[in-house]
Amino acid sequence: MAYVATRGGERAIEQSQRLFKAEMGEITPERVAEIRAAMPYLIDRVMGEASLYDEDLAALALAQTGGELYEAVLLLRAWRTTQPRIAVAEPVTQEGLFTHRRISATFKDIPGGQVLGPTMDYAHRILATEVLDGEVHRPDPVEPAARPSPARQPSVAEWQAENGLLTAAVPDTTVGNDIPDVTREPLLFPAKRAHTLQSLARAETGGVLALGYAAQRGYGQAHPTVNELRLAEAEIVVTHPRGTQFSAGRVKVSQAEVVDKKGDGLRLGFAATLGWNEVKVIAAATLDLNAEGAPKGAPTEEEFFLYHTEGVESSGFCIHFKLPHYVTFQSSLDAMRDAKAQKAATEKSPEPAE
Amino acid sequence: MSLHPVPSDFEARCNATFDAVMWALARPGVMRDLPQAGLAQVVDALIDRECAVHCPDEALAMLARRTGAELVGPEAADHVFAETVTPEMPDRLACGSDLHPEDGATLVAGAVFGTGQRLRLTGPGVDVEVIVTIGGLPGDFWQRRAGAMRYPMGFEMLLVDGARLIGVPRSTVVEVL
Amino acid sequence: MTLQTLTKPWEPMSYGFLDGSAKREIRRKMIKAIAVPGCQMPYASREVPMARGWGTGGLQVSLTLVNPAMRVKVIDQGADDSVNAASIRRFIARVAGTPTTMDTLEADLIQSRHRIPEEVLREDQVLVLQVPNPEPLRPVQPNMSIARQMHADADYGRMWLQLYEQIVRSGRVMQGASYPSLVHGRHVMTPSPIPRWDVPKLHMAKHLTILSAGREKRIFAVPPYTRVEPLVFSDVPYKVEDHADLTCHRSGTRGFFMNEIPQDDGTLVFEVSDSAWGVKAIRRRDGEEVALGETWYKNGKMPS
């Protein structure tokens, strides 16, 4: 006789996975293609959190996990970690971005102009229930502007720096493999600037929002104004072993700069991520803006927000509490019972007076 | 995704090398066998582009460079590979800091076992004490080592004689008999 | 130099899942962890195909150490058959082609969550403990950077104060599992959430213990023959769980760490937590020839 049905454990695992998958049915190339086409913002969010830009793989991860976002991101990250690094792309600059949307809240108009681009900001949020009644919802075609906005736009912060409103950031000249990579080395504090920005770029959207919102509501020292928000495409320029530089394609990126007054100037918070995800970059830039000088243990302190917005780590730890903990529980129970017994014993027989 | 649970020869060799290295440091003074002779084994198992390596020997330096590691002076190195240890080396190696003891270097060096100074090792990994005879190091090496380190700061040593390996981590107290 | 010298043959997956660079980094950090017993060494902690908090730290160490000749045992809460242990064991066997075992005596490498087996581990065995929280100071200092400075200064005053307050309030140290322990007289370490019963097994042990926290990205170690002393006051001795006189209702074995199982009628029964030990005891009782190893505890007591 077996002490416990060992095979049972493995069979249970197998069957539980089958149950999970049974509800989703077949995963077909068509399904993956449909997810990719129908949910670009979800794909973007997942790619950003996974630090892996591949729309097909992101769509596949969503299909495979039934849209369980944390699982989808974990799946992509676990895949990413096994991939070789062939090249490190050239840095992208704001001026070089192929810009779809670019707005600033600091000025009515900005050099280069406000470009509304694709957004639901001013839409009335009404469900198109007619679709459920059998009608097809066809978006109205876009009417091109008489004069297209320029594809490339100058940086607002640069204009502010030129006009003495803020101190321009010192350009980091580190290139290639020398750029610290938070997926290949531990995050230590005070964090390297690259590690901070990389961590925010791959942070979980909801987590960044929760802490960024806390800072915006008043648990931070700085009140953000959106200096510049951009949705753009960035050219991935790599160097061929022969030495020629070429574009390997374009990736969607979002970036936000938020400002607050500091003394007689402005200070800047920055965040960027793969894919288009406005909420995330604004919230993340708010945290970056608030990080300097934040007290230890505050939600705006770098260590606090970088640890607690790491989606794969936080979700994994949260669900790990489902694992059996009966050994630790037993150990605590033993200490509790003993303390109780000791207390009862002392109460029964008080120390005799000397 | 198909699976490939068979290690390549390189993988198997690095795995065996690290097994020897790990146990050498876990049991200071107890001799271990490397899969093949030479310091190069340790380069293969440990070194890549994330490392800063000091390597006075040309051939080993070439090998280290090919892994993508940066070649640096002894003070800036996280790994030092030396067929022959020079007298001033203990004073020049990185010992890390109290905050980051992990920044202390690993010195992989040639030595001769069975001749030379008789040493008594004590500390973690040593069952009471172990006596070893190690030659091929500068005469006052062990005194200088002791002077250079303040635990938990210090450096690790992997001494290689052919395909044999002895480890001396910073936690080991070495007494010359 | 040719292109071929710069590349390696294509493989669908690296042996043992982790690629060479991940393994080398873990090796380098393991060296430092062994060299400074009980000191937490930061490491990159790559993502693995398992959720954080589910043994990814232990798994990365195991995957770095395994080879096809290494026999692996995986336990969770002392049991080889718990679903998570089964899942990890299956994964290691799948990606590294390793033989597996449930018998502590047969294992070369034991990955465990929350327990150390009851049979004495040998000089050639490695115990890999999964660690959820590597920082023993967290209850008194949740900030990692400050806690690191406290370790650097060997500033354990607040830790002692906390233990003292518990004694004043409750008459005893209330720490259940994860009992903070001083390693090699220098670094306070969490032994991972093993019960107090198991902590003395680390003291001057013959085997090598590697503790790895994947989510928190810290690795630390207890080499063989290293002092591991639970933090206690000289007049309030260390107390393990009161399990010395409990008997396993299934195997009849006695004097080991037990799981307490509440019954429908309001009573309790106990079963031995080390499932492989329990299995062997049952098989021996049923007349099979089974090798039982020497145990750390003898008649429910740890010989000092």
The sign of the dihedral angle between the CA atoms of C13, C15, C21, C25 is positive
Degrees (nearest 5) of the Cα angle A330, A335, A336?
Answer: 95
Q: Measure the CA–CA gap between A254 and A277, rounded to whole angstroms.
A: 6
Q: Domain B9-169: which CATH class? A: alpha beta
Within a domain: residue A211? Answer: yes
Within a domain: residue A57? Answer: yes
Which residues on C lie below 8 Å from B123 (Cβ)?
184
Q: Find the closest chain B residue to C220 by CA distance.
A: B102
Q: Cis ω on the peptide bond leading into residue A190 (within 30° of 0)?
A: yes
Say whether both A220 and A283 belong to one domain: yes
Say whether both A54 and A110 belong to one domain: no
For residue A286, give Cα distances in angstroms to A253, A290, B20: 18, 6, 50
Which of B:53-92 have CB within 8 Å of C? 78
**CB-count exposure of residue A159 (10 Å: 0-12, 13-18, 19+):** middle
Could you tell me if C124 and C70 are in contact, meaning their C-beta atoms sit under 8 angstroms apart? Answer: no
**CB-count exposure of residue A199 (10 Å: 0-12, 13-18, 19+):** buried
Q: Measure the CA–CA gap between C211 and C67, rounded to whole angstroms.
A: 20
Q: Nearest CA of chain C to the CA of B155: how many Å?
A: 9
Q: Nearest CA of chain A to the CA of B17: how many Å?
A: 23
Say whether both A21 and A151 belong to one domain: no
Cβ atoms within 10 A of the Cβ of C55, count?
31
Which residues on A lie below 8 Å from C142 (Cβ)?
297
Could you tell me if A18 and A64 are in contact, meaning their C-beta atoms sit under 8 angstroms apart? Answer: no
Say whether both A98 and A76 belong to one domain: no
Q: How far is CA B15 from the centre of its chain?
A: 16
Asked if A332 lies within 8 A of C273 by C-beta distance, the reply is no
Which residues on C lie below 8 Å from B16 (Cβ)?
67
A185 and chain B: CB distance < 8 Å anywhere?
Answer: yes
Cβ atoms within 10 A of the Cβ of A157, count?
22
Phi-psi map region of B18: left, alpha, beta (phi>0 left; psi -120 to 50 alpha): alpha
* Residue among B80, B140, B73 nearest B110 (CA): B80
Q: Has residue A5 got a pLDDT over 60?
A: no
Which chains, if any, share at least 3 CB pairs under 8 A with chain B?
A, C
Domains and CATH numbers, chain C: 20-230 (3.40.50.11310), 242-289 (no CATH)
Per-residue model confidence (pLDDT) at position A352: 55
Which chains, if any, share at least 3 CB pairs under 8 A with chain A?
B, C
Q: Domain end: A54, A80, A106, which one? A: A80
The sign of the dihedral angle between the CA atoms of A143, A148, A154, A157 is negative
**CB-count exposure of residue C280 (10 Å: 0-12, 13-18, 19+):** buried
Per-residue model confidence (pLDDT) at position B4: 56
C284 and chain A: CB distance < 8 Å anywhere?
Answer: no
Asked if C224 lies within 8 A of B4 by C-beta distance, the reply is no
Asked if C13 lies within 8 A of B26 by C-beta distance, the reply is no
Name the residue among A1, A75, A327 with its Cβ closest to that of C273.
A327
Q: How confident is the model at residue A111 (pLDDT cuts 50, 70, 90)?
A: confident
Could you tell me if B53 and B71 are in contact, meaning their C-beta atoms sit under 8 angstroms apart? Answer: yes
Name the residue among A4, A188, A343 with its Cβ closest to that of C79.
A4
Per-residue model confidence (pLDDT) at position A8: 54
Q: Find the closest chain C residue to A77 by CA distance.
A: C47
Q: Measure the CA–CA gap between B15 and B45, rounded to whole angstroms.
A: 7
Say whether both A39 and A182 belong to one domain: no
DSSP conformation letters of A213-232:
HHIIIIISS---EEEEEEEE
Per-residue model confidence (pLDDT) at position A85: 80
Q: Find the closest chain A residue to B100 by CA distance.
A: A188
A85 and chain B: CB distance < 8 Å anywhere?
Answer: no
Within a domain: residue A85? Answer: no
B4 and chain C: CB distance < 8 Å anywhere?
Answer: yes
Which residues on B lie below 8 Å from A185 (Cβ)?
50
CB under 8 Å to C261, separation ≥6 — which residues? C268, C269, C270, C271
* Per-residue DSSP letter, C67: -
Degrees (nearest 5) of the Cα angle B81, B84, B88?
Answer: 90
What the block records as the tokens of A153 is 């736009």
Report, in angstroms and rounded to the nearest whole number, the Rg of chain C calculated over CA atoms: 20
Which residues on B lie below 8 Å from C152 (Cβ)?
97-99
DSSP conformation letters of C170-232:
HSS----SS--EEETTTEEE---S--GGGGGGGTT-SSEEEEEETTTTEEEEE-SS--EEE--
Q: Has residue A6 got a pLDDT over 50?
A: no
Per-residue model confidence (pLDDT) at position C3: 58
Structure-token match 């303390």, residue found: A339
Question: Does the predicted model carry a pTM greater than 0.90?
Answer: yes
Say whether both A171 and A295 belong to one domain: yes
Per-residue model confidence (pLDDT) at position A86: 81
Q: Has residue A118 got a pLDDT over 90?
A: yes
Which residues on C lie below 8 Å from B21 (Cβ)?
27, 31
β pairing state of C126-130 and B70-71: unpaired
Which residues on C lie below 8 Å from A183 (Cβ)?
44, 46-47
What the block records as the tokens of C165 is 């307050």
Q: How far is CA C162 from the centre of its chain?
A: 24
Mean pLDDT of A45-59: 98
Q: Nearest CA of chain A to the CA of C82: how many Å?
A: 6
Within a domain: residue A250? Answer: yes
Per-residue model confidence (pLDDT) at position A189: 92
Which residues on A lie below 8 Å from C143 (Cβ)?
296-297, 303
Query: Which residues of chain C form beta strands (DSSP E)?
Result: 41-42, 72-76, 109-113, 126-130, 181-183, 187-189, 208-213, 218-222, 228-230, 258-262, 268-272
Q: Measure the CA–CA gap between A111 and A228, rounded to whole angstroms.
A: 12
Pick from A8-22, A331-345, C255-269: least confident:
A8-22
Which residues on A lie below 8 Å from C85 (Cβ)?
9
Residues of chain C with pLDDT under 50: none
For chain B, give every domain's residue range: 9-169
Q: Which of C31, C63, C186 to mutate to test the interface with B (most CBs of B within 10 A)?
A: C31
A81 and chain C: CB distance < 8 Å anywhere?
Answer: yes
Total domains, chain A: 2
Which residues on B lie below 8 Å from A184 (Cβ)?
50
Q: Measure the CA–CA gap between C99 and C84, rounded to whole angstroms.
A: 18
What the block records as the tokens of A299 is 């939600």
Q: List, as own/partner pairs, every contact residues C150-157 make where C-beta atoms lie below 8 angstroms and the sequence separation is at least 24, other chains included.
A: C151/C39, C151/C40, C151/C187, C151/C188, C152/B97, C152/B98, C152/B99, C153/B98, C154/C186, C154/C187, C156/C188, C156/C231
Is the complex ipTM more than 0.85? yes
Q: Find the closest chain A residue to C219 by CA distance.
A: A186
Mean pLDDT of A300-317: 96
Q: Find the closest chain B residue to C153 by CA distance.
A: B98
Q: Measure the CA–CA gap between A235 and B174, rounded to whole angstroms.
A: 58
Per-residue model confidence (pLDDT) at position A354: 47
Asked if B8 lies within 8 A of C8 by C-beta distance, the reply is yes
Give buried/exposed letters for C160-199 (b at 16+ CB in 10 A, else e): eebbeebbeebbbbbbbbbbbbbbbebbbbbbbbbbbbbb
**CB-count exposure of residue A354 (10 Å: 0-12, 13-18, 19+):** exposed
Give buried/exposed letters for A32-68 (b at 16+ CB in 10 A, else e): beebbeebbebbbbbbbbbbbbbbebbbbbbbbbeee
Q: Find the closest chain B residue to C224 by CA distance.
A: B125
Per-residue model confidence (pLDDT) at position A2: 42
Could you tell me if C219 and C33 are in contact, meaning their C-beta atoms sit under 8 angstroms apart? Answer: yes
Which residues on C lie below 8 Å from B43 (Cβ)?
none
Q: Find the closest chain C residue to A315 by CA distance.
A: C52
Name the residue among A313, A333, A335 with its Cβ closest to that of C52.
A313
* Residue among A221, A228, A230, A231 nearest A288 (CA): A221
β pairing state of C181-183 and C41-42: unpaired
Q: Measure the CA–CA gap between C258 and A100, rounded to whole angstroms.
A: 64
Say whether both A108 and A75 belong to one domain: no
A122 and chain C: CB distance < 8 Å anywhere?
Answer: no
Say whether both A28 and A102 belong to one domain: no
Residue C22: helix, strand or coil by DSSP? helix
**CB-count exposure of residue A274 (10 Å: 0-12, 13-18, 19+):** buried
User: A110: domain range?
Assistant: 94-139+147-315
Within a domain: residue A46? Answer: yes
Cβ atoms within 10 A of the Cβ of C214, count?
29
Per-residue model confidence (pLDDT) at position C304: 76
What the block records as the tokens of C21 is 């660079």
What the block records as the tokens of C72 is 């692996």
Say whether both A167 and A66 belong to one domain: no
CB under 8 Å to A308, separation ≥6 — which residues? A207, A211, A314
* Per-residue DSSP letter, A56: H
Q: Measure the CA–CA gap between A260 and B127, rounded to whole angstroms.
A: 62
Name the residue among A12, A185, A326 with its Cβ closest to that of C77.
A326
Q: Find the closest chain A residue to C218 by CA distance.
A: A186
* Residue among C24, C15, C27, A184 nearest B67 (CA): C24
Say whether both A103 and A242 belong to one domain: yes
Backbone angles phi, psi at A101, to 5 degrees: -150, 135
Q: Measure the CA–CA gap between A93 and A155, rounded to whole angstroms.
A: 9
- Number of cross-chain residue pairs from A and C with Cβ atoms under 8 Å apart: 174
Name the residue among C95, C224, C225 with its Cβ closest to that of B3.
C95
Say whether both A58 and A174 belong to one domain: no
C118 and chain A: CB distance < 8 Å anywhere?
Answer: no
Q: Measure the CA–CA gap between B75 and B56, rounded to whole angstroms.
A: 13
What the block records as the tokens of C103 is 């018998």
Within a domain: residue A334? Answer: no
pLDDT averages per 10-residue partition of chain B, 177 residues: 75 98 98 97 96 95 94 97 96 97 98 97 98 97 97 98 98 97
- Number of cross-chain residue pairs from B and C with Cβ atoms under 8 Å apart: 138
Within a domain: residue A278? Answer: yes
Within a domain: residue A340? Answer: no
Q: Measure the CA–CA gap between A294 and C249, rounded to whole angstroms.
A: 57
